Amino acid sequence: MDREYFYSIMNGTGKYDYEAYLNTYDLLRCQKEFADFCNADELQFQIVHQIEELWMKLIGYTLLDIDDYLRETNTNRVITLFRRVDVALKLMTDQLVLLETMSPKEYQEIRLQLGNGSGQESPGFQTILKMPQHLWKSFVTRYLDSKGLTIEKIYDVEYSHGDAYVVAEALIEFDELFQNFRYHHIQLIYRSIGMDAKSLKGRSVELLRKGVDTRFFPDLWDIRHKMTDKWGTEYGVVRDSVSKGH
C-alpha cells in the first residue's frame, strides 16, 4: 500500500460537519507527525495515554455531577451516573493491555521521548484522586448524619437495603474498580520494564503497590471485617464441621 497516500488522508481535512463538531482536525493532529515517531509502537503509546486522559476527564466531570446529586439525595441519578463512571473505569483498565503488544525494547526507545514525564503528572489521575473525600463528605452528611444512620446501621444492625446502603455500594464499587486499574497498571509495568525496575525518578515501582492498597472509603471496607469478626465471635471461630457424624 502507498503509505504516504494513506498518511495524507488519515488525519482528515476538517471540512465536513462531522469533523467540525468533533474537532477531528485538531484531534488527529494531537499525535506526533508520522515521520517523527521513534518506532512503530509510539503512535499506539500516545493514543492509549490520550484516550485514558479523555476517560479520566469524563470520570472527573461525572463525579462532579454525582456529588451534586448526593447532596440532593437524588439516589436514582447517583446510581445511573456511577454506572457511567464504572464503565469508563473498566474501559480504562481494559485498554492497558493494548500496550502489552509493545516489546520491552521498543518501550525503552519510547520512554526516552517522554523526557522527565511521568504518569504521576496525569491531570486526570490527579483530579480523580482529589474527589473521593468530597463524595464521602456529601454521602455521610446527607445519607447518614441527617437521617441518624451510621455505616454499622445500614450494613448490619438496621440493614434494610435502603438508599444509603445502595449508594454506599456504588461508592465501594467505584473504589474497587479504581484499585483494579492501579493493579493492572502495575501488571503492565512488570510486563514492560520488569518486576524490580527503578523508575526514571529512581524509586522502585514497588512503591506503586502502596497505591493499590489505598482505599478511598476505608469505612466501607472495614465494616465487612467488623461484621465478620462479630459473627465469628457469636458463632465461634472454630465451627462444628458440617460433615460431623458422616
Q: Name the residues that contact ligand HEM, by CB under 6 A.
A: 48-49, 52, 96, 99, 107, 118-120, 122, 125, 182, 185, 188-189, 192-193, 199-201, 205, 208, 211
Closest approach of Cβ 27 to ligand HEM, in Å?
18
Query: How many Å apart are CA 44 and CA 47, to the nearest integer?
Result: 5
Query: How many Å apart are CA 80 and CA 7, to the nearest integer?
Result: 41
Find the radius of gyration of the CA atoms of the chain.
23
Query: Which residues, listed in sequence order, are joined to residue 204 by a DSSP beta bridge?
Result: 198
Closest approach of Cβ 144 to ligand HEM, in Å?
29
Closest approach of Cβ 193 to ligand HEM, in Å?
5
Residue placing its CB nearer to ligand HEM in the complex, 117 or 232? 117
Give one DSSP letter per residue of 90-154, joined into a string: HHHHHHHGGGGGS-HHHHHHHHHHTTT--GGG-HHHHHHHHSHHHHHHHHIIIIIGGGT--HHII
Residue placing its CB nearer to ligand HEM in the complex, 103 or 146? 103
Residue placing its CB nearer to ligand HEM in the complex, 139 or 181? 181
Residue sitting closest to ligand HEM (CB): 119
Question: 148 φ, ψ to 5°?
Answer: 65, 30
Residue placing its CB nearer to ligand HEM in the complex, 14 or 211? 211
